[in-house]
Chain A
Amino acid sequence: MVKFLMNVAGRYVALAAGLMFLWLLMSGFFHESTLLLFGVTSALLCAWLTLHMGILDEDSVPLGLLPGIFLYWLWLVIEIGKANFIVAWQVWSPKMSLSPRMIRVKAKQRSDTGIATFANSITLTPGTVSVEVLKDDILIHALTDGLADVAAIEDMGDKVCRVERGAKNPKKTGATSTHNHVDGGKT
């Protein structure tokens, strides 16, 4: 359905339809025709303003992520739950066994939205915070050795890549940084 709308009239129609749906959900007016008309008008006006300002692109209306992102969020919620228990255990244990580390993880995502999704997922998972986001890697502060699992975090990045694979442009030419693990070197 979304793909069909995109092929017919692009992001403009998808954005307007999404805004109208949001307006209906938030207001709950289904039978007041005057108010419905105002809602439709304001949704169309907002979509037109977005188009007119020139910010209607892949990053503001990321339709390419749409089918896969929900499954990814479901997986992410489970990961967040697991990491929460690890950090909560550290907080309550009488003798904390922290060993903070800075690690560097490759970000192979093609779009800015993809990199932002990856960095946000890392920060949402307690125990890892993305400190610096560069073009093809992310600097992460991890709370313990167990949480500083580069392979697991890059697996998360691969999942984001798979979600954004639906979009058109070719994949970004590979990440060139060879150091994916600095434990003390300057950036």
Chain B
Amino acid sequence: MDSVIHFASLSFFAAGSFFVLTGALGLLRFPDFYTRMHASGITDTMGADLILIGMILQSGGDWQVIVKLGFIMFFMMFTSPVSTHSIAHAAWVGGLNPLIGPELTHEDIAPDRDDETQGEGV
């Protein structure tokens, strides 16, 4: 039984590492700032969560460790999208234009830097 759990946790670690690697590779391969954010999102969600599940399986039934790892997972679910959104919003308000369409053309759609209408966000 122990060896089964051990093997399962190793599988979760391997899968999580694969997704962290995927996020890093995407960060290098994707063409511009906005698309690279999507790659880092893989590391935040799938990579971190699979590694945390592997850690829970390694805990050996200590409920306090399981609860604390669960809390880490819970808070990751709230903090990582907020940080991603604030970086994206800063780039957008700062006037960085995304690449658009299958041809990845530059289009001037981001607001100008001193646009007075900014700041009405909730």
Question: What B residues does A120 contact at CB under 8 A?
Answer: 78, 81-82, 85
Find A115's partner among B39, B117, B122 (CB 8 Å cutoff): B122
Question: What A residues does B120 contact at CB under 8 A?
Answer: 134-135
Question: What A residues does B23 contact at CB under 8 A?
Answer: 91
B7-30 Cβ-contact flags toward A at 8 Å (1 or 0)? 000000000000100110110011
Please report the C-alpha to C-alpha distance between residue A73 and residue B51 in the assembled complex, in whole angstroms: 19
B93-105 Cβ-contact flags toward A at 8 Å (1 or 0)? 1000011111010
Is A91 touching B37 in the complex (CB atoms < 8 A)? no
Question: What A residues does B30 contact at CB under 8 A?
Answer: 91, 96, 98
Q: Of A35-43, A99-107, A149-157, A159-167, which stretch is located at the interface?
A: A99-107
Please report the C-alpha to C-alpha distance between residue A92 and residue B22 in the assembled complex, in whole angstroms: 7
Is B41 touching A126 in the complex (CB atoms < 8 A)? yes
A81 to chain B, nearest CB (A): 7
Answer whether residue B77 sits at the interface, using C-beta atoms and an 8 A cutoff.
yes
Closest B residue, CB atoms, query A115:
B122
A178 to chain B, nearest CB (A): 18
Please report the C-alpha to C-alpha distance between residue A92 and residue B39 in the assembled complex, in whole angstroms: 11
Question: What A residues does B78 contact at CB under 8 A?
Answer: 120
Q: How many of chain A's residues have a CB under 8 angstroms from any CB in B?
A: 47
Please report the C-alpha to C-alpha distance between residue A182 and residue B88 in the assembled complex, in whole angstroms: 18
B69-100 Cβ-contact flags toward A at 8 Å (1 or 0)? 00100000110111011001100110000111
Answer whether residue A54 sits at the interface, using C-beta atoms and an 8 A cutoff.
no
A78 to chain B, nearest CB (A): 12
Which residues of A are in contact with B by a Cβ distance under 8 Å?
25-26, 28, 73, 80-81, 84, 87-88, 90-92, 96-102, 112, 115, 119-121, 123-135, 139, 141, 143, 145, 182-187
Sample of 19 A–B contacts (CB below 8 Å) = A25-B64, A84-B19, A88-B26, A91-B26, A91-B29, A91-B30, A92-B25, A99-B102, A100-B101, A120-B82, A120-B85, A123-B81, A124-B77, A135-B120, A139-B92, A145-B102, A183-B100, A184-B100, A186-B111
Known: A123-B82, A133-B121. 18 other contacts (CB 8 A): A87-B42, A88-B19, A97-B102, A98-B30, A98-B31, A98-B35, A99-B101, A100-B34, A100-B104, A119-B85, A123-B41, A124-B45, A127-B41, A129-B41, A130-B85, A134-B122, A183-B100, A186-B109
